Structure 1
Amino acid sequence: DRRCVSIDRIIKIIEESMSSKVYGLLKRPDEALVVSRAHSNPKFVEDCVRTMAQKTVEAFSDLPDDAAVTLKQINEESIHQHNAFAERTATMGELRAELACLKA
């Protein structure tokens, strides 16, 4: 049983899980706004993946427990000599159970 999910919903979940909206190109005055937003809502890559998991479970509540989900966040660093990476692969059932434990 294959079900399709909306790529637009997936993109919205990803964008809403970040510290600030990401832009491909910014003018200098806009950079300050993005930095300010990111600093007022700081998140590590692990925080973004956790937020994506929560929003995915909420947005796709109709998916069966055995539906596979891979959540991944990579922050390409400009200051450090390494990138930050977090990934979670699970079934919807596993994510639902984990999130239920967090709420309890």
Structure 2
Amino acid sequence: MTKELLLAAFLIGVGLCIAGAATHLYQWRAGQQAMLRYDGKTFLGSMGNLAMSFVCGPYIMLQIGWRHEDNGTLSMTSALVSAIVAFGWAFITGLLFMGAYVAIHP
């Protein structure tokens, strides 16, 4: 059982690393804040924003959880829910990218 938990933690780590790197790369190249969105001027732009949101989503969710409330405090509920969603999402992202790596690598 320890091996399975370590594999899950590894996949979550890979997913978070890819999400963080992709978010910073997107913000550098696009010159705008990365957000979860699916709108665009064209259909191709919408699909690009959707793909960016899928890959960068875990990192964006972690940042959303750390936003301050109106009175300057941090909501524990918001932080915990966004962390649970982000780590679950990072597992899926890590599984997708590691699966592609294993399938392509000889």
Tell me the TM-score normalized by structure 1.
Answer: 0.28
Greater strand share, structure number: 1
Tell me the TM-score normalized by structure 2.
Answer: 0.27
